[in-house]
Amino acid sequence: MTAILLDGVATARTIRAELHPEIAALAARGVRPGLGVVLVGDVPASAVYVRSKTRACEELGLSHETARLPQSATTGEVVAVVEGYNRRSDIHGILVQLPLPPQVDTIRVLDLVDPAKDVDGFHPENVGRLVQKRPRFVPCTPAGIMELLARYRIEVAGRRAVVLGRSEIVGKPMALLLLHADATVTVCHSRTRELPSVTREADILIAAIGKAGLVGPEHVKPGAVVIDVGMNRVDDPARARELLEPSRWPELEKKGYALVGDVDAPAVAPLASALTPVPGGVGPLTIALLMKNTVRAAARV
């Protein structure tokens, strides 16, 4: 068996294309969806993510603005930016790029985002609505994964799903969405005992734990669908070669590092029925769903 690769790039392109009629309808009303981004500090990965999100806005014709604050910014300074975006009628969605520096009270900042503009779905009101199965905005990565499963006609109802990771951003909302879709869900984490014996029960395995190549063939039931949320930089060339298909070795030689997922893809691909690549799997879907949430936020005005 060789896993089918679930193409996040193509799926994201389709989702963005489906937004054009909605954007045109808003334009006819004189509304241009606007995204306000808060970027604090100089974390290279965060800067890359923000550039990808603003580029997607430009491709769709959405307006966007990024408030850049120094690494030394205080909670009060970040709060002031968020409150400013809350008041502006031309900003329909607010994205606070995480992680924030340690001196910034992340919970206070996220709690102050207007729930009607919380396109990341992190505000406690939106989390509560998701729990009650009446969501306003769903966190973008889990929502993107559900879109991917649906568009590849992968059945969820009645199947065993295991989520590796319990973060507020991916793990917990992912488990809720699978539960709402009638899967039987188990959430695993750093304290889970005999992890392979738990993950091998999964028909659908979501790996979102942030450890390069953690999920090997011993974790995967033959025929399982494996969704790899991880994005890890590996600088050790020997380890990177183990986790990369040979076709990516020239990329490793050129860059001196590799981006890999939480799944040991070469080892797992012969077992799984379907697998998301890294890169090109979940990442593009996250950005596409952010665009979708921003357009929907503007439509609510």
> pLDDT tens across 151-174, in order?
999 999 999 999 999 999 999 999
User: Would you state the structure tokens that stand for residue 289, as one six-digit string?
Assistant: 């769903």
Sequence spans of domains, the chain = 31-114, 140-283
In this predicted structure, what is the pLDDT of residue 12?
Answer: 98
CA dihedral for 114, 116, 117, 120, sign (positive or negative)? positive
Catalytic (active site) residue 120: yes
- Give, in degrees to the nearest 5, the angle at Cα 149 between 17 and 63: 30
In this predicted structure, what is the pLDDT of residue 301?
Answer: 82
pTM for the full model? 0.95
Top-level class of domain 31-114: alpha beta
C-alpha–C-alpha distance, residues 238 and 280, integer Å: 23
C-alpha–C-alpha distance, residues 156 and 162, integer Å: 12
C-alpha–C-alpha distance, residues 138 and 88, integer Å: 23
Catalytic residue chosen out of the listed positions 7, 97, 172, 292? 97
Query: What are the angstrom distances between the C-alpha of 93 and each of 67, 165, 271?
Result: 14, 27, 41
Catalytic residue chosen out of the listed positions 7, 114, 120, 228? 120
The reply to whether 140-283 shares the fold of 31-114 is yes
In tens, the pLDDT along 4-32 reads 999 999 999 999 999 999 999 999 999 99
Catalytic (active site) residue 103: no
In this predicted structure, what is the pLDDT of residue 45?
Answer: 81
In this predicted structure, what is the pLDDT of residue 1?
Answer: 57
Catalytic residue chosen out of the listed positions 53, 117, 172, 292? 53
In this predicted structure, what is the pLDDT of residue 47?
Answer: 85
In tens, the pLDDT along 29-69 reads 999 999 999 999 988 888 888 999 999 999 999 999 999 99
In this predicted structure, what is the pLDDT of residue 85?
Answer: 98
Catalytic (active site) residue 105: no
140-283 CATH pick, 3.40.50.720, 3.60.110.10, 3.50.50.60, 3.60.15.10: 3.40.50.720
In tens, the pLDDT along 228-243 reads 999 998 999 899 898 9
- Percent of the chain exceeding pLDDT 70 equals 100
Is pLDDT above 60 for 71? yes
Helices then strands, each counted (H, E), the chain:
12, 11
